Structure 1
Amino acid sequence: MEKLVNADEFVERFMVGNMDHLRYKHSPVKVFRLIDIAPYLKIPIPPILFGYNLLIHLTEGYFEHQVGPKVYVVNAPAVLMSTYGNISAIKSVDTSAKGHCVLINDSAMTSIFREQEILNIFTISPLLNLSKDVSDGINQLFRMLYEELHTSDPYKELTESLLKSLLLKIIKLSASNRVLSRTQEIAMLFKQLVHKHCRKQKHIGFYTDKLAVSANYLNRCVSTVYNKSSKQLILEVLVMHAQLMLFESSNSVSDICYELDFPDPSYFSRVFKKLVGMSPTDYRYTTRQ
């Protein structure tokens, strides 16, 4: 089973040079400057299951970042966000990129934000392009958060307040602060549950029990919001996990197929190629070069 990659492990595996300045005390919220990260990344970075909610504010430069199955080309000024449970990969990066990167532990999210706010965060499009004026305003909050977290004795209430202000501002800019309908709420909650549980729970019944709805109603909600069935969404998330396992483990394609509960390797390969654009074997070879 693939494991979550924490900040220190990311530094060890995917960055070069003396990274002592990025070693971080254990904290539910971490913030880094992109000028301390971008020049040292071993690009491309293959899909990993990052153990945090990820928020990047880009003020100068560009990068290409995969969130789930989609690759986003991010040009400054912009914000990119990947919520916990998504699989991320970095395709390319401008080594002179500037801005900030914030990592938020999932437990911190649930303690700082109300459930409705978390749902709104989950609905944000991963990429939000900004005007320069708006970006400058957001950058002030990022700088204040960075400075507070890098003091010898960070003030917890202040860091939480700054973080909440940042994310609520992003929610407002993305127009995700609307009141969700019951259909949207069920679909969003289902997607969250799938990202967190699909490795062990692949059957619709688990999710309908969690959400206290019927399978037909769940399918209608998911189809309305995502234009796909509940089973299709689970399948897409499973393929993302397969990408991660193909890179991380030495298990055969067949072993990975059966571990993810696909009926047979040929079906697994067809689904994988349809969603990823290449066979599992080719994908493993490409990501390990």
Structure 2
Amino acid sequence: MKNSPKLISNYEYKKLFLPDITTHNLFNNSNLQLYRIENYLKKIVIPVNPYQTTFNFLIFVTKGYVKQQLETSVFIINANEALNVKQGNFTATLELSEDIEGFFVIYENEVITKIALNTSHLNFFYTSPFSILNPNTISWLIRLFELLEEELNEDEHNNAITIALFQSVLLKIIRTENSASGLINRARSISFHFRELVQKNHIKHKTIDFYSDLLKISDNYLNKCVKETTGKAPKQWINEITIQHSQILLQDVSKEIAEIAFELNYQSPSYFSRIFKKVVGQSPSEYRLQFLKS
């Protein structure tokens, strides 16, 4: 059976990227955790190679900026902005400003299941995970984050209270975005579901018609919806998501590049290398060498 890239756990994330983390925080396995970015991420090992996590996290910046890769996009999260990263997304922290401040919230999927969000809220939140918030919303959210932080720091904190506070955080962010952008439309919904399907099926299926058949729409309509909402054609998404997958596999130096190419169902190692260079800007061997040096 072919191996997929390993999703790293909360503990592994801290161990890999945060060498100066306290023992208490390292072994904190609560399903909802909140840290100050300036204390938690300040000494993160940069550059961080792309990874996938078993948990979700929300980055909320109040001062300075964080540069974060999410799937095939790179976001610069400035003050008054937030980014949600879902379990299984390809992501990496690329840069932190010297004056960075804000909140970093780690939450497990079970936390979301306890939050009463309707389908449109969930679709909108995960389709457009980057939020620019107004000053009134920011001050309200900061007060809420401080209350959540205070409750989580209690020796025996009340899980129902922390879930309710985080629910309020998410609803405020989502509804602020909804009021600014309008409800999710059909094209954005199709684009979202297409990318979810690609994440699950890209190794075996790299043709557009496979996904349009699953979505019960034509190839042309799928192309129109995805291009209109993301600026990229479906084939570009399929290539980029598969190459992100390969970047994680390339970090395992025991695997030959040709082995990875065939594992990802490319017709030949040379074809894989051409697609990789087109997406990343360097060959697989150059990427691996850069990874080893870092």
User: Which TM-score tier does this pair reach, normalised by the shorter chain?
Assistant: 0.7 to 0.9
**2:78 and 2:258 mapped to 1: Cα distance?**
39
The letter of the residue matching 1:37 is Y
Deviation of residue 211 (structure 1)?
A: 4.0
Deviation of residue 281 (structure 1)?
A: 1.4
**2:253 and 2:140 mapped to 1: Cα distance?**
43
The letter of the residue matching 1:191 is R
**1:26 and 1:210 mapped to 2: Cα distance?**
37
The alignment partner of 2:126 has SS state of helix
Calculate the TM-score normalised by the size of structure 2. 0.85
**1:74 and 1:185 mapped to 2: Cα distance?**
24
1:179 corresponds to: 183
**1:151 and 1:125 mapped to 2: Cα distance?**
30
The letter of the residue matching 1:16 is P
1:251 corresponds to: 255
2:12 corresponds to: 9
Q: 1:278 aligns with which of 263, 277, 282?
A: 282
Q: 1:74 aligns with which of 70, 77, 89?
A: 77
Deviation of residue 230 (structure 1)?
A: 3.1
Q: 2:166 aligns with which of 160, 163, 168?
A: 163
| The 10-residue stretch of structure 1 (110-119 or 45-54) with the greater mean CA deviation from structure 2 | 110-119
Change (3 A) 1:133 1:117: closer
Deviation of residue 255 (structure 1)?
A: 1.4
Deviation of residue 238 (structure 1)?
A: 0.8
**1:10 and 1:181 mapped to 2: Cα distance?**
36
Q: 2:46 aligns with which of 33, 43, 47?
A: 43
1:148 corresponds to: 151
Q: CA RMSD in A?
A: 2.6
Contact kept in structure 2, 1:4 and 1:51, CA below 8 Å: yes
The alignment partner of 1:40 has SS state of coil
Deviation of residue 49 (structure 1)?
A: 0.8
Contact kept in structure 1, 2:15 and 2:26, CA below 8 Å: no
1:83 corresponds to: 86
**2:240 and 2:263 mapped to 1: Cα distance?**
16
The alignment partner of 1:2 has SS state of coil
> 1:67-96 CA deviation, whole Å, 9 max, x = no partner?
122222333242222223321112222355
Deviation of residue 212 (structure 1)?
A: 4.8
Deviation of residue 106 (structure 1)?
A: 2.9
The letter of the residue matching 2:245 is H
Deviation of residue 160 (structure 1)?
A: 2.3
Q: 1:103 aligns with which of 103, 106, 109?
A: 106
Deviation of residue 241 (structure 1)?
A: 0.9
**1:30 and 1:196 mapped to 2: Cα distance?**
28
1:188 corresponds to: 192
The letter of the residue matching 1:273 is K
2:125 corresponds to: 121
Calculate the TM-score normalised by the size of structure 1. 0.86
**2:76 and 2:288 mapped to 1: Cα distance?**
23
The letter of the residue matching 1:64 is K
Deviation of residue 65 (structure 1)?
A: 1.5
Q: 1:54 aligns with which of 54, 57, 74?
A: 57
**1:91 and 1:118 mapped to 2: Cα distance?**
27
| The 10-residue stretch of structure 1 (144-153 or 46-55) with the greater mean CA deviation from structure 2 | 144-153
The letter of the residue matching 1:57 is F
The letter of the residue matching 1:12 is K
Contact kept in structure 2, 1:38 and 1:94, CA below 8 Å: no
1:261 corresponds to: 265
Q: What is the number of residues matched between the two proteins?
A: 288
**1:135 and 1:262 mapped to 2: Cα distance?**
47
The letter of the residue matching 1:109 is I
2:234 corresponds to: 230
Change (3 A) 1:251 1:234: same
| The 10-residue stretch of structure 1 (42-51 or 65-74) with the greater mean CA deviation from structure 2 | 65-74
Q: Percent identity?
A: 32
> 1:30-52 CA deviation, whole Å, 9 max, x = no partner?
22221331333111111111222
